[in-house]
Amino acid sequence: MMASVLKWIVPWEFSWVFLLSFIGFSVLYVRGCHRLHVSVGRRLSFWVGMALIYVSLHTYLDYFFEHEFFMHRIQQIVLHHLAPLLIIASYPGTVLHKGLPFRWRLRLLRPARRSWPWRLASAVWCNPAVATVVFVAFILMWLVPSMQTLAMLDWRIYRFMNWSMLASGFTYWWLVLDHRPRPPGRMTPGIRVLSPGITMTPQILAGAIVTFSKHDLYPIFEICGRAFTFNVLTAQLVGGVIMWVPAALIESAGGLLAMRQWLQLSRSGRIRRKPWPTRRTPAAAQP
Query: What are 150-178's pLDDT values in tens digits?
Result: 999 999 999 999 999 999 999 999 999 98
Query: What are 41-79's pLDDT values in tens digits?
Result: 999 999 999 999 999 999 999 999 998 999 999 999 999
Tell me how far apart the alpha carbons of residues 53 and 251 are, in angstroms, rounded to a whole number: 18
Q: Which residues lie below 8 Å from residue 255, measured CB to CB, with a gap of 6+?
A: 176, 193, 194, 195, 196, 197
| Residue scoring higher pLDDT (76 or 13) | 76
Mean pLDDT of 194-218: 92
Task: Please indicate, yes or no, whether the overall pTM of this predicted structure exceeds 0.85.
Answer: yes
Closest CA to 244 of 203, 282, 280: 203
pLDDT given for residue 285 in this prediction: 45
Closest CA to 73 of 171, 198, 217, 255: 217
pLDDT given for residue 277 in this prediction: 59
Tell me how far apart the alpha carbons of residues 12 and 225 are, in angstroms, rounded to a whole number: 16
Tell me how far apart the alpha carbons of residues 84 and 173 are, in angstroms, rounded to a whole number: 7
Closest CA to 92 of 152, 44, 131: 44
- The overall average pLDDT reported for the chain is 89
User: Cβ distance 64 to 136 under 8 Å?
Assistant: no
Closest CA to 87 of 25, 134, 27, 35: 25
Tell me how far apart the alpha carbons of residues 89 and 261 are, in angstroms, rounded to a whole number: 11
